[in-house]
Copies of this chain bind each other. A is one copy, B any other.
């Protein structure tokens, strides 16, 4: 709700336009209960307006990401998924390289890291877009992937 209003004003501020297509994509994202693919969103939008093109969905998602209303994660099957930041609050993701499981983590857990990047490199991390690769507990226990001799040398 607040989201639509913010979207509209953010668009105006930047001289961009409020279009039916953009509002449909945002609305579809509100219905989602978990991260959805562009294709899924496209289908939902198409149900309400069959004329909307898939590329428009992609473009709108990219825009919403720029405005930081939406976060996109590259899940394990190689398909990007998108979710409304306002829905579960901002969070980052842990992506298991072995089983593909995606785990949400509160940004507070990354606070030290984020602060360090800012103070040391002047780099402002966008936590809610962060996807951290690694191995989850289960896969690690299964001993899925080796540690090459130099993997941890420089720490």
Contacts and interface: CB of A to CB of B under 8 A. Distances in A.
Contact of A86 (B6, B97, B112, B150): B150
Interface string A119-132: 01111111011111
Interface residues of A, number: 57
A134 B140 contact: no
Contacts of A140: 122, 124
A124 B89 CA distance: 24
Contacts of A147: 68
A154 B114 CA distance: 14
A134 B116 CA distance: 13
A15 interface: no
A112 to B, nearest CB: 5
Interface in A89-104: 89-91, 94, 96-97, 103
B94 A117 contact: yes
Most B-side CB within 10 Å, residue of A94, A106, A117, A137: A117
A11 to B, nearest CB: 11
A76 interface: no
Given A109-B116, A146-B68, A126 B130 contact: no
A151 interface: yes
Interface of A: 2, 6, 10, 13, 66-69, 85-86, 89-91, 94, 96-97, 103, 105-113, 116-117, 120-126, 128-137, 140, 145-155
Given A109-B117, A112-B116, A123-B136, 8 more contacts: A6-B149, A10-B148, A67-B148, A68-B146, A103-B123, A112-B112, A124-B135, A126-B135
